[in-house]
Amino acid sequence: MMTGKDEKTMNNQNQTPTRIRITDEAAQPQMRQPQRKKPNQNALRILRFGMLISGAVIAVLALVLILLPMIKINKSVVEGNNYYDDEYVIEKAGISVGDELFGWNMQAACDAIMANYPYAENIYVSITFPFTVKIEIVEKPGVMYAAHQNQYFSFDSTLRVLEIVTDGEEAFSPFLCVKLPAVASVKKGSVIQFAEEGTDLSYLKELLDVLAERNLLENVTYVDVSERFSLSFVLLDSVRVEIGTLKDMNIKLTLLQEGLAKNPINHHLYAVIDVSNTTKAIYREIAAENLFD
């Protein structure tokens, strides 16, 4: 039989709380450790391949840098040059056989040729096998020359002076000789200055265009535009054609061709064909010294 003391002791034991120790690790939620991904084999292969290519490129570049100075100019050729010696053009380009091919500045060469070749419209430089430098010159069309104070000067269709010489007109023999209105002054690189202010030579270009359309310009060796209403030109240094003005040029040139059919050009015979009157062509023989009067 349980006494009162025993019962009190049992009740005290039942009321005493039980202590449980909880650590910090247990208080926090459990977190999963991330799993390490396996490397992508395709990406590794691409990376290795890229490294191999980069190494090969670096090796090739190093080899090129070693070999380039060993490549020399073997030959130089000039095309399209009608007015200067090829040697002159090559000299202005600053090259010679034996020079390092890839140490040569192409743009500087083009600029130097343009500065010293007034008849060039464009310059093209290229390298062909075997180690040949090729210089192509596109010359200005319609270059002409005229006389002024015992000098001769060449000019283009814009009337800009290209060259001036004092040792005779033979230097300009490939060009069309033109007799101009009275010239006041000429300066290389500038437009011709005429004695009469406001002189307009637009009819010169118009005349040359008409002759080109009729396939006559290639045979014209002299043009006289000194008087606007008394134009004339000479064919093959043998026949002077007097056209008066540019009016009715189709009729006048048709008359000219009919006159030449009847009287073909004879280099031992000098003549005038006057088509200024559009009714008919007038043909007459003249002395050689009067051909350019």
Give me the percent of the chain exceeding a pLDDT of 90: 52
Spell out the domain ranges in the chain: 69-139, 141-199, 200-293
Does residue 31 carry a pLDDT above 60? no
CA atoms in the 13 A half-sphere facing the CB of 71: 17
198: amino acid identity, one letter: G
Residue 231 in contact with residue 240, Cβ under 8 Å? no
3-state SS track over 20-45: CCCCHHHHCCCCCCCCCCCCCHHHHH
pLDDT at 156 (0 to 100) = 93
Q: Lowest-confidence range among 93-97, 263-267, 276-280?
A: 93-97
> How does pLDDT run across 226-247, given as a tens digit for each residue?
998 999 999 999 999 999 999 9
Q: Which two tokens stand for residue 228?
A: 């606007």
Residues with Cβ within 8 Å of residue 182, at least 6 apart in sequence: 194, 195, 196, 226
pLDDT at 132 (0 to 100) = 83
pTM confidence score: 0.69
What number does CATH give the domain 69-139?
A: 3.10.20.310
pLDDT at 51 (0 to 100) = 77
Average model confidence (pLDDT) across the chain: 83
Average pLDDT over residues 57-64: 61
Residue 82 in contact with residue 96, Cβ under 8 Å? no
Query: Considering only CA atoms, which of 93, 141, 100 is closest in space to residue 115?
Result: 93
Banded model confidence at residue 65, pLDDT cuts 50, 70, 90: very low
Residue bearing the bigger pLDDT, 149 or 15: 149
pLDDT at 52 (0 to 100) = 77
